[in-house]
A and B are shown apart, each in its own frame.
Chain A
């Protein structure tokens, strides 16, 4: 049932473009009407070859979620809500204190989060307590702490 692969469907190569391209009317005649705008001028667009790109402007939702109450919640809310949502931490599996410390240290040293050194223990304590509250879930890789190596993990992908 193997069908010859058509991984690349080429509409023309540099050298062959003139042969592949089909002459018709000016590109402007092919511009699709821009989407209706409730107010103001229509967004600008560029078009060629049957394809139109229209300027885009969006509003991203704002996240006002705070870390749940608990010891040092004020510290983590003050330090760890501007660069990323609280959900980034709240969706993590149960991690050990060492793993949380490695993560917070990575945020500060690699990603340059403006966290003062004196706040780190409170943040780690808060997050470790959060993991403990996840119940019977076994801490991930608790024998290792290797996940803390900033060169190999976390915050990516």
Chain B
């Protein structure tokens, strides 16, 4: 690792100081612990009640999907407060139960190996001295909203809260790869982490990106999240950030980067997280034996967050309505809303642009058609011209839901 050491030595000899990132204080104080209270995720077909929990380290009030290994969902009202999701209410998803509960910043090493000229073992002190980038990006589980699929499918029964948006501070993966010197013929880069299966022989959780993607200058290794170090349950001390791609690639507790001379054919790339190779990852319910590809880029989504499912409000001629949107793999171009089940659509006013991979706030004032039940909808167009479809998709993995969502309220 002569090149990295040389570079770091040159930097420290100048006693350079990186200007402190102007990170917004996005973290909102979490409410008091709501032990034993239940939340209804309104999943079709029922079994939708989940307890709230504040029992996890570094985490405030979260929807408990599974305690072991943790699956914690962010309550929807959190997304109404800020486009940045506070660290202590950012969703949590682990595959294997052997999660290190102690990380020593002095001994942790990030290794870079495989099809490279100079294998590296990078300490956190070194990582902190590399050129920094900061980016706002949505981290969304591949199976976010799986519980809304009809017919229902097995898997973690998430509502819409297996997602979050943060300002990620870290270093470019490209810079790390350049220090290591990728050899000609590299095809993919595989990412491994400290968590391990609890039983021998089970497939270790590893994910891979094509070399060109890994080297695009956007993929980063983050040690900062909304101005703080990552909560352990969100991947302390560092995790991969793959802007515009689903969270399965955002490997937490990243400690191993392996450049491969061929495609990764291990379980988590070759067998799991595969979607139908069809438009919108959509197949007829019950379909089988269709060609598949690894899940990849995200698609536009939007939600009403100023009112919740089932909420009762006083009738008025017009009401304020607000929410969030994401463009997926590009920015948000516009968001329209409807209060009559999709017949009439109204424009909204977009909030500040924090970058194309961030959540974007939208707000408007809309008429109510009549007293009684009101079906609120929002529809996002991204900057590539892709709009949310009205019809939901189906696939057996419950991946990539992105249709227009409906929030039912009562105005009386």
B-contacting residues of A (Cβ < 8 Å)?
A: 1-3, 5-14, 17-18, 20-27, 30, 44-63, 65, 82-85, 87-88, 91-95, 99, 103, 110-114, 134-135, 137-144, 146-147, 149-157
Q: Which residues of B contact A146 (CB under 8 A)?
A: 286-288, 396
Q: Is the CB of B285 within 8 A of A18?
A: no
Contact B273 A112 (CB under 8 A): no
Given contacts A111-B199, A156-B142, contact A56 B232 (CB under 8 A): yes
Contact of B157 among A1, A83, A93 (CB under 8 A): A93
- Taking a contact as CB atoms under 8 Å apart, the answer to whether A23 and B357 are in contact is no
List of B residues within 8 angstroms of A110 by Cβ: 202-203, 267, 271
Contact call A5/B66, Cβ cutoff below 8 A? no
Partner of B134, one of A11, A113, A147, A153: A11
Add 4 more A-B contacts to A61-B53, A62-B68, A84-B66 (CB < 8 A): A8-B135, A60-B99, A93-B45, A143-B285
Chain A nearest CB, measured from B115 CB (Å):
21
Contacts of B184 in A (CB 8 A): none
- Mind listing 18 A-B residue pairs with CB under 8 Å? A5-B356, A7-B331, A8-B217, A10-B131, A14-B175, A20-B131, A21-B14, A46-B125, A53-B124, A55-B102, A83-B199, A85-B66, A103-B154, A111-B203, A141-B151, A146-B288, A147-B396, A152-B274
CA distance in complex: A95, B151 (Å): 10
Binding site for A on B (CB under 8 A): 7, 11, 14-21, 43, 45-47, 50, 53, 55-58, 64-71, 93, 95, 97, 99, 101-106, 123-125, 128-129, 131-136, 141-144, 146-147, 151-157, 162, 169, 175, 178, 197-203, 217-218, 223-224, 229, 232-233, 236-237, 243, 246, 248, 267, 271-274, 285-288, 292, 331, 333, 349-350, 352-357, 383, 395-399
A1, A5, A112: which contacts B197 (Cβ < 8 A)? A112
The residues of A that contact B397 with a CB separation of less than 8 Å are: 152-154, 156-157
Is B202's CB under 8 angstroms from A21's CB? no
Closest-by-CB residue of A relative to B17 is: A24
- Which residues of chain A have C-beta atoms less than 8 A from B58's C-beta? 58
- Which B residue's beta carbon lies closest to that of A11? B132
Give the dominant DSSP class at A's interface: loop
Q: Are B229 and A53 in contact (CB under 8 A)?
A: yes
Known: A1-B350, A51-B169. A95 touches B154 (CB 8 A): yes
Contact between A84 and B69, CB atoms less than 8 A apart: yes
Cα A56 to Cα B223 in complex, Å, equals: 13
Please give the distance in Å from B141's CB to the nearest CB on chain A.
5
Residues of A within 8 A of B154 (CB): 92-93, 95, 99, 103, 140, 147, 153-155
Q: Which of A87, A139, A152 contacts B292 (CB 8 A)?
A: A152
A57 touches B102 (CB 8 A): yes
Cα A137 to Cα B102 with chains together (Å): 43
User: Which residues in B have their C-beta under 8 angstroms from that of A88?
Assistant: 66, 71, 156
Q: Are A138 and B67 in contact (CB under 8 A)?
A: no
CA distance in complex: A85, B64 (Å): 11
